[in-house]
Amino acid sequence: MPTPCECCGAPFKVTHPLKRFCSERCRRIVANRRYRAHRTEVATCPHCGTPFERTVTSKRLKVYCSLDCQYEQRSADYRKRPDLKANLLRGQQVRDRKAKGQSAKSVVIFS
């Protein structure tokens, strides 16, 4: 009497009382699902708010859903740094001086 496979539902002949799958492929599919179910969690990307799965077995947890989100968030954080804001201001002042035909010497700003 054929028994349905626990993975794909295809009927197969049981040759051993503990056999539950029609093929090695189906057995591995179920094993991988079981492995992932215990070793993954759902997290939310801090940049775009999209939920994504991450592995919890590594020491470094994935924070962002994609590299694009990671680059955009780090770029935004980088632009907020006060030392970089001072450099941007200094660069703008040099460009303004060059546009007016004045000396392009850098102006030192200390905050």
Per-residue b/e over 56-85, b at no fewer than 16 CB within 10 Å? eeeeeeeebbeeebbeebeeeeeeeeeeee
Query: Residue 90's pLDDT is what?
Result: 83
Mean pLDDT across the chain: 87
This prediction's pTM: 0.49
Query: Residue 79's pLDDT is what?
Result: 80
pLDDT at residue 107 is higher than 80: no
Percent of the chain residues past pLDDT 70, beyond the cut: 93
Tens digits of per-residue pLDDT, 46-57? 999 999 989 888
Query: Residue 49's pLDDT is what?
Result: 94
For residues 18 and 102, which has the higher predicted lDDT (pLDDT)?
A: 18
Query: Residue 26's pLDDT is what?
Result: 95
Helix and strand element counts for the chain (H, E): 3, 4
In degrees and rounded to multiples of 5, residue 11 shows phi and psi of: -75, 140
